[in-house]
A = this chain, B = another copy of it.
């Protein structure tokens, strides 16, 4: 049937995060294992209906991350799974991006659980992947308010304008689900032309039932041909001035039948800033199948879960990713 496409990814590997950590099987350190239904229908007159239902999972044990149900309130202290109504214990569809919408000359509209505008415009060297806890997204995303701190955002409608001379405007609105919550919203301006990509994003999320917090993000990339350099910087409103910024500087370069990447990631903290370096090589067995190896180092302030007391640590991993 031509109206739906079935595709996905399965990624399994091994890693050791630090000295003393068990060498263990860890999924999704290069890509995100998922299965996806998607499609596009031509409605005539340049108008299209589009949808996607993409569900990620851990390919080593089949678990699917329980997530907080977005009700417009800030993230609760509960750890999911839990019996509180704020835990979506039974989530199993669309956690990797889900929407239905229309596109045409006016641009694109999506409704559902699309990619967060903040994340969709972050430019990382490796899609934030690599050894667990050292990756760019872990450093940049921590402590960002409400819906903004996950890659996908529930209950959101997004509008992406057409590109005019390479410039696109993106709007996101995630209305609160209860009267005591706060709405989320995102605004991005993006410029893509030839080797250059530049984006600015502002995200406003709830931090309590009466206050919101604003996050600004500037990201840019330039493709030199032999290598692509990428930079993402975030300023978290409402935080102390010595603990409000985080950034990731990365590079990718084609080497042989694969890609080398490296990223240097910093998150400001009141005392010593957390810093990590991740690097790796992705070797293409084919267009759809890839072997990968990762290494990472972090300072004591990175405080990888499981290292006690906090100390500088080095981790590594390798694995296999197959796209279907």
Chain A residues proximal to chain B, CB less than 8 Å:
1, 3-8, 10-14, 20-25, 27, 35, 37, 39, 41, 43-44, 47, 49, 51, 53, 55, 57, 59-67, 69-70, 72, 79, 81-83, 85, 87-95, 98-102, 111-113, 154-157, 174-179, 181, 285-286, 288-289, 319-322, 324
Q: Can you identify 21 A-B contacts, CB atoms within 8 angstroms?
A: A1-B7, A4-B6, A14-B157, A22-B175, A23-B175, A25-B177, A35-B37, A35-B53, A35-B93, A37-B324, A44-B286, A55-B62, A59-B100, A60-B111, A60-B154, A61-B155, A66-B90, A81-B87, A83-B83, A89-B89, A111-B320
**CB-CB < 8 A to A89: which residues of B?**
66, 81, 89-90
**CB-CB < 8 A to A157: which residues of B?**
14, 25
Identify A10's interface contact among B1, B53, B155, B178, CB under 8 A. Answer: B53
**CB-CB < 8 A to A66: which residues of B?**
89-90
State whether A25 and B155 are in contact (beta carbons under 8 Å apart), knowing that A41-B322, A61-B70, A90-B89 are contacts in the complex: yes
* A98-B59 in contact (CB<8A): yes
Identify A62's interface contact among B43, B62, B63, B92, CB under 8 A. Answer: B92
* B320-A289 in contact (CB<8A): no
**CB-CB < 8 A to A177: which residues of B?**
22, 24-25
How near does chain B come to A293, taking the closest CB pair, in angstroms? 15
* B285-A57 in contact (CB<8A): no
Identify A8's interface contact among B4, B22, B81, CB under 8 A. Answer: B4
A137 and B286 CA atoms in complex are apart in Å by: 41
State whether A24 and B176 are in contact (beta carbons under 8 Å apart), knowing that A12-B112, A49-B285, A49-B288 are contacts in the complex: yes
A264 and B22 CA atoms in complex are apart in Å by: 43
**CB-CB < 8 A to A59: which residues of B?**
53, 94, 98-100, 112-113
Identify A155's interface contact among B24, B67, B79, CB under 8 A. Answer: B24
* B24-A62 in contact (CB<8A): no
A216 and B185 CA atoms in complex are apart in Å by: 50
* B112-A91 in contact (CB<8A): no
Give the nearest-CB partner of A178 in chain B.
B22
How near does chain B come to A64, taking the closest CB pair, in angstroms? 5
A5 and B8 CA atoms in complex are apart in Å by: 12
Give the nearest-CB partner of A92 in chain B.
B92
- Extra contacts besides A66-B90, A101-B320 (13): CB < 8 Å: A3-B288, A4-B8, A20-B179, A21-B179, A22-B72, A49-B286, A61-B70, A61-B155, A62-B67, A62-B91, A62-B95, A83-B83, A90-B91
